[in-house]
Homo-oligomer: A and B are copies of this chain.
Amino acid sequence: MPSSPRSGRRPGPTGTRDEILRAARAAFAADGYGATSLRGVARDAGVDPALVIHFFGSKAGLFTAAVGWPFDPEDEMRRVVAGGPGSIGINLARMFVRHWEDERDRSPIVAVLHVATGDPAGAALMREYLVEHLLRPLIAGLGTDQPELRAGMIVSQLIGLGLTRYVLGYEPLASAPADTVVELLAGGIQRVVDEPIANL
């Protein structure tokens, strides 16, 4: 049933959308990414599940909107691997730096990291989201042995650099030009793509 019981009016489209996002944030925080369903969020928000699909497309879209994520990571990751394994290093470094340079993209990523370091449920939320929407397309595009392990080493380099440069503000990394950071990252990532595991 629609909310806004105090006014007695059905909420307009904006109110309904906000109501869904509020219910989604509460559900993701309480139950984690995996255990949250579109149907459950719709029920909590008092709307039809079809309306959630109408506004957000999918669970990933709902999460993206709930944390204020202004891009579609799955779509971007598919473009990163589209050129084949040989260009994953440079493509991924470019995509990563572009988003972290943008304050609107960076804030929700840091907020998710804060939640992830706060308690195990927050960590599970971030892990499940990462695996489903960033790592799955990366793993599919690696085309090597042990792609899951390699993807983990790659994502750890990205998270680490994001924290060190953009959150901690460690110098001279924090003030280095974006192009320099792309180069520094690209080589390390490409090495994890190319080298035999024993040589990493």
Which A residues contact B (CB, under 8 angstroms)?
110-111, 113-114, 116-118, 123-124, 126-127, 130-131, 135, 146, 148-149, 152-153, 155-161, 163-165, 167-173, 176, 183-184, 187-188, 191-192, 197, 199-200
B149 and A160 within 8 A (CB): no
Looking at A111, A156, A184, the one whose CB has the most chain B CB atoms below 10 A away is A156
A200 and B187 within 8 A (CB): yes
Copy number of this protein in the oligomer? 2
Q: Give the shortest distance, in Å, between A82 (CB) and chain B (any CB).
A: 24
A110 CA to B118 CA in the complex, in Å? 8
Given contacts A117-B114, A118-B114, A169-B123, contact A156 B164 (CB under 8 A): yes
Given contacts A117-B113, A131-B170, A168-B116, contact A159 B163 (CB under 8 A): yes
Given contacts A117-B114, A117-B117, contact A155 B131 (CB under 8 A): no
Q: List 9 A-B contacts (CB under 8 A).
A: A110-B117, A117-B117, A117-B163, A124-B169, A127-B168, A152-B173, A156-B161, A156-B163, A187-B200
Chain B residues whose C-beta falls within 8 Å of the C-beta of A157 in the assembled complex:
156-157, 160, 188
Quick one: closest B residue to A110, CB to CB?
A: B117
A171 CA to B130 CA in the complex, in Å? 12
B199 and A153 within 8 A (CB): no
A168 and B126 within 8 A (CB): yes
Chain B residues whose C-beta falls within 8 Å of the C-beta of A172 in the assembled complex:
146, 148-149, 152
B123 and A167 within 8 A (CB): yes
Looking at A130, A146, A149, the one whose CB has the most chain B CB atoms below 10 A away is A149
Looking at A116, A167, A169, A170, the one whose CB has the most chain B CB atoms below 10 A away is A170
Known: A156-B163, A160-B160. 18 other contacts (CB 8 A): A113-B117, A116-B163, A117-B163, A124-B169, A126-B168, A127-B170, A130-B170, A135-B170, A149-B173, A152-B165, A152-B172, A156-B157, A156-B160, A156-B161, A157-B160, A159-B159, A160-B161, A184-B200
